[in-house]
Structure 1
Amino acid sequence: MTALLYLDDSYLRTFDATVTAVVGETGVVLDRTAFYPGGGGQPHDLGTLTDGTHSWQVVRIAREDGQIVHVLEGGAPPPPGTALRGEIDWDRRYRLMRMHSALHVLCGVVFREYGALVTGGNMGPDKARMDFELEDLNPERVAHIERTANERIAAGLPISWRTLPREEAFQIPDLIRTKINLLPAHIQEVRVVEIEGLDLQADGGTHVRNTREIGGLKVIGTRSKGRINKRLEIALVDDAVDEERGE
């Protein structure tokens, strides 16, 4: 079982690991990894693995038979037992962290203002979308959501994450903000992400430590996906965000 280092430290850029298995012609399984494998709308990480002599590009992370497989380019994969140093494409990862946290701010604002649950979402480094169970998304409401979200971002709210036993986690009101509970029944430990005073929900992705790192968000589009299903599309506003990014 691969130890998932990103669950505890989203800011970990480099790590040491050992190959435990080779999968197919291009994949390796590691005993530990900081690469986010994708999920919950957040894309997988990119980066490199090196044995000190040769380097491989990590171009995809796949989940196969319960394993995290790092799909490589750059020649035959290293054999089991090889000691490697991994490095995350940090600029891309950090932007995804900011975007993911921005979506949680958006989710928290919409839930608090309108009680709306999330019906879908996806993100990339440059833009993201989130669908809500809303009947109305008029221009005035959109402007209010954007303004309120940016006020919360500018307030510098701490963001933290922890893992709880499933039974304890599900005692938290409104922990699941999606219309359908996507958390499989066999998951007995639940990671929760909290934006202090705004949002608390189950989530397995990577986040920044403070809303101020997000910079800001801008609603760049809206769409009706049905009578009670409305979409908000956002982009990041790139204000000063380097203060706490782990430089």
Structure 2
Amino acid sequence: MSTAFLFRDDAYLKTATATVAGMNDLGGILLDQTIFYANSGGQPGDSGRLMTADGREIVIATTVHPDGDKTAIVHVPAPDQTLPAIGETVTLVLDWDKRYRLMRMHTALHLLSVVFPFPVTGGSIGADKGRLDFDMPEVPEDIPALETALNDFVRGEHDVTAEWITDAEMAAQQDLIKTMKVKPPMGQGRVRLIRIGAGETQVDLQPCGGTHVANTREIGPLRIGKIEKKGKENRRVSLFFAE
């Protein structure tokens, strides 16, 4: 059972209507379409509410892909909720403040992968803090200069856009893949690319299925935190909002 991912076309949707398409064995709710992003790629699943036609509220604690199926999303209700009936129409209400901070941080981490031009070995996106792990033998000497470059990208007001290429085109452009352990979501015929900037002012282009802001100015000032050694050549770089 597949789900239409409305957030791929418009990450700024805060509410939408959907039809309950099914339930899984654990009481998770499947909808025909959703604005809720499911936990994947280091970005947490969204939370929020489902509102029924008779005014009942169902709190959604998180959202996940069922058993690794990237074409469907399960909406996990908080405990002790009265579940909707299959075929029922519900209104989705996203926890927007959380989502928007995740969008800002996710986009910021794309920029971090530019100022630290090393292969990415892992990452995590939070509403207040993000981090990327790099295959980085030595820590760069001038971290303040890298932080300045990072914030220059933010202040550059670069548009963030999405486009699609085929699986075959992705396979022929392996240089676009920065992550060593997380591979692009291939197997469905096409892969989404996220482009920051364009033409001569392009900053970054890489495959990504997450949610992002529309322009880098929305990210706000950033601060690079401590850099931790996590192996012989693995370094973890933390990133925070400065305001």
Tell me if TM exceeds 0.5.
yes
| SS of residue paired to 2:237 | strand
* Counterpart Cα distance in 1 of 2:135 and 2:178: 11
Aligned counterparts of 1:69 and 1:181: Cα–Cα separation in 2: 21
Give the alignment of 1:1-247 within 5 angstroms: 1-24=2-25, 26-52=27-53, 53-65=55-67, 66=69, 67-73=72-78, 75-111=81-117, 116-138=118-140, 140-172=141-173, 174-180=175-181, 182-183=183-184, 186-196=187-197, 197-238=202-243
The AA in structure 1 aligned to 2:132 is M
More divergent stretch after superposition (29-38 vs 174-183) = 174-183
Q: Please report how far the alpha carbon of residue 24 of structure 1 lies from its aligned counterpart in structure 2 after TM superposition.
A: 3.2
Gaps of 5+ in 2: none
Decide which moves more: 14-23 or 56-65: 56-65
Paired letter, 1:9: D
What is the identity, as a one-letter code, of the residue corresponding to 1:86?
L
Deviation string 1:129-149 (CA, Å, 9 cap, x unpaired) is 1111111115x3322221111
Deviates more, 1:151-160 or 1:168-177: 168-177
CA-CA distance at 1:174 after TM superposition: 2.2
Q: 1:4-33 CA distances to partner (integer Å, 9 max, x unpaired)?
A: 111111101101100010223532100000
| Distance across 1 between alignment mates of 2:123 and 2:97 | 22
Distance 1:180 1:129 in 2: 15
Cα distance per residue 1:155-208 (max 9 Å; x no partner): 111111122211223444621001246236524210110111111000000000
The root-mean-square deviation of aligned C-alpha atoms, in Å, is: 1.7
> Contact conserved, 1:26 with 1:76, CA < 8 A, in 2?
no
Structure 1 residues without counterparts, runs of 5 or longer:
239-247
What is the DSSP-based 3-state SS (H/G/I as helix, E as strand, rest coil) of the residue aligned with 1:208? coil
The superposition leaves residues 111-152 of structure 1 with CA deviations (integer Å, 9 ceiling, x where unpaired) of 2xxxx11111111101111111111115x3322221111111
The answer on whether the counterparts of 1:158 and 1:209 sit within 8 Å (CA) in structure 2 is yes
AA aligned opposite 2:90:
L
Alignment CA distance shift 1:132-1:141 (3 Å) = farther
Tell me the amino acid that sits aligned with residue 96 of structure 1.
L
**Do the aligned partners of 1:37 and 1:61 also contact (CA within 8 Å) in 2?**
yes
| Identical amino acids, percent of aligned pairs | 38
- 1 CA distance for matches of 2:153 and 2:186? 33
Asked if structure 2 preserves the Cα contact closer than 8 Å seen for 1:6 and 1:34, the reply is yes
Q: Distance in 2 between matches of 1:41 and 1:75?
A: 28
Query: Is the contact made by 2:165 and 2:190 (CA closer than 8 Å) also made in structure 1?
Result: yes
Q: Within 2, Cα distance between the matches of 1:96 and 1:62?
A: 16
Letter in 2 for 1:223: E
Distance 1:25 1:181 in 2: 27
